Structure 1
Amino acid sequence: MRLRAALAVVAVLVATLAGAYGALVTFRADKELSAGTIRLSVSPGHRGALDLYVPLVDWGARFEAIRLPARLRIDLRTVNRAAVVRLAKGSRLDVNQVRDEAAAAIESYLKALLAVVLAAALALGLLVALAVRGGPGPRLRWTALLAVVTAAGVTAALAVLLPPRGPIDEPQYYAYGPDIPRALRAVEAATRSTAALDQELDAQLVGLAQLVVAPGQRIPVDERSPRVVVASDLHNNALALPILERTARAAPVLFVGDLTDRGSPLETAVVRGVVRAGRPFVFVSGNHDSDTLSRRLARDGAIVLGQEGRLLPDGSRGPVVARVGGLRVAGYSDPFERRSAEDFRDRYDAKPSPEQQGAFLAWLDGLDGQVDVVMVHEPALLEPALVRLRAAPPDEPILFAVGHTHTAAIERIGAATVLNGGSIGAGGTGNLGEGTPIGIGIFLYAREPAFAPLAADLVSIDPGTGSSTARRVRLDAAAR
């Protein structure tokens, strides 16, 4: 008898939840805006986010603004022809109107969704309650009450957790396709801003027009600002060189080590063409590079930096600080760089020793006020310097470009920024099966009246599928 009662309760509970879940995943609504038609839907089982997706150009922007493990998705299905014509003729889109329309559409959709979820949960739960009534099982009034309470609880939880909350900024862009990301083009084309559906429901509609949903409360980054590409960890994957070259588009490239696996003459011959990827191509060695590689790159026209100064084509040393794109750039050779005299053997230890970290800190102290960018392959060398920066954040901006971890990351410490673009070589030719994404960073800055970071774009590409994401992080005072 107790078992039957327990099974009946479980059946009603499961049926009620199944009804709610089924309604959640299947209910969608199309809403008309002045700019076009959007479709709203929910996709459970993901990290909570608001997705703005444009199928016409196959890219979107994602904002982590939802606490429920689900994505509230807004697809731009069709574009209002009259709006596109007006934009193509130079008219401006009334972004406030579109923003208000989109906010109203989301509110209307969520209200309808909650009603449908409640109705579906109640219907299925009460239906099962009726089916299991009678006999030695629980009375109908108790199972019906369970269905009502469960349906109401699920609906209330959705009402609290599903609507976007807080500021919506720092989007992650994503796209699909085998080429260097549409997502990156979206990032670079953006001249947008922040706050409610704040950043972008926009699409570069086959070159005709841009639709932008953004209230313009933040001063946009000037996309004509100077830029440098931050890359590292190619590990001989020459197939990724065209991606690096197309991303740079004649901008300087700061390559932060591990161009090869051993730095042997054969590997050097394979990758030496990388110097054409940037104008100029600036290099510091990593633990998988060698003195042979550095000398070859210097002879081929790269700016090869080290703590002793720039390596010149004749093997001598020049100034420690080089001028690159209006920036004062210095670099620190990896302490585990391989040596031709030792047959390019692996010299890497688990991490730099305290003595090596101290040597880096002393070198950095000697450059106080003289550099805008410091390139160092091994992030662990920075640890004592970062401890000091956290205790006393610098007044003048400085960028630390790092590599080694194969993981894209950005950290702000006062006016200091630590930027890791990830692995441009997807972990290298020997590790392509590990699923490491192709990673690359783009740093935008101002030169006048003084060096000032503006933004960093972190781009990630799945080498197997071509699926790509790009995230912009604002670094300027206007973003705060």
Structure 2
Amino acid sequence: MTTAWHGGRRAATSTWGRRTRIAAAIVAVSLVGVVLGTLLGGRVETDIGPFRAQLALSPSASGGTTVRIPPLGALEFDSHDGPTRLTVQLGALDQRRTEALISDPGNLDRISSLAVRDVSEGAARLILRTIGAALLGSLLLAALVFRNVRRVAWSGVLSLVITGGSLGLAGLTLHPRALEEPRYEGLLVNAPAIVGDARSIATNYGKYADQLQRLVGNVSKLYTTLSALPVYEPSPGTTRVLHISDLHLNPSAWQVIRTVVEQFNIDVVIDTGDITDWGSEPEASFVNSIGQLKKPYVYIRGNHDSSATAAAVAKQPNATVLDQSLTKVAGLTIAGAGDPRFTPDKETSPAGSGLTTQVADQVITTGERLAATIRSAAPQKVDIALVHDPASAGPLSGTVPLVLSGHVHHREVLRLPQVDGEQPTQLFVEGSTGGAGLRGLEGEKPTPLSMSVLYFDPGQKLQAYDDITVGGTGEAQVSLERHIITNPAAGDPKASVTPTPTRGPTPTPTVSPSNSSAPGAPVPTTTG
């Protein structure tokens, strides 16, 4: 009897031990299946405003939310506790939706509410997808391990409990105020210092976008007054070049550029750099508007443009990217060199507080290399040289009649120091065609959009140019100032530029800077 009792006890203990091991195995398999399913399938793509974004859930002991904004860095929010972490990664910027937001002030007012709705809908889909992925992961893993329908079913039930419990715990421990206290990583560590400016930009940009709707139309109206100019009539063989620079990711600039290209019958567009702000992959879609111009587009890289930016421009069917190279377009031979720097974060850039000797040497060396490239092309005559920073222009004196640049966000016309016997070289520094981007709205007066139309005769000599300024503060303003170049023969020290202002239908036209033909190299700057 005693032996039988002990035998029954051992059998019961063995049964419970076996059941405990099986239960522990089911729990372990369910946990591993939930983790694998969540990592592999717990993500969705959704539109958040003009961005294409990816939302993902992952196991985490500390919880929280991460918002990644390549290449600027990330924002960390202590949004919730619990074993799940939400990651939001902003991806490509949709050009069409961006332009729609900017062109319609009403859309700007709805951005916040739409973004909240987009995130809510994306989060709902993410939760359902995560639950499904976790369930499927647990069922598949349990089927491989146990090959027993009952144990597979238990594993599925446990996966639902684990996933639902984790998401429920995250929901119950939400910290709404955490959204007001983000932690910054990467380049965004400088963000707290500019919060005031960012709010000012958001406030002013709605007014600015509203003005641009009228400004684009005003450019067209202004063009109709050109027939009244008796001082200069472009001949049938004239080549018209539109010089733009420093768009800085402002989609509104494309509207004005397209209008000028059509109304002025532009033959070729020249862009002297800083088409983007950070040179990141999501910004690359911004350059797609180049193809819509349907005109030859010659571009050099600015210090805010990365090699990826240049590659995106090069993919446009009508674009040519120059970097210590030459091209011939619309009868003009053009040489260009990209900026040697890539400094999107000016706070950490060596050029952030002025041109150091090292950076100045880089910039000047770029001009020297371009001058050598131009001389090596002889006897081919180069008509225009392109550099981003006007500080690169000095070594080009005497090698070309005209140098175009940007970078400083305001217009200048200078004659480079001339060596006896060499041809005179004029330097045209363009303002910001993008109004300096969002940075141009930080002050009370937004930076106007600036561009110039250059007129070349059949002999590729510059005969005249129009300075176009679009925008202003509190008023819709457009101005065009025509400059006629008299006695433009090479080497004539009396060559001059005569301004002929033309007023459009808007009040108080912006006056373009006066031109200077006095010798003197451009002052190196770090704007842009």
- TM-score, normalised by the number of residues in structure 1: 0.48
Which has the larger Rg? 2
Higher share in helix: 2
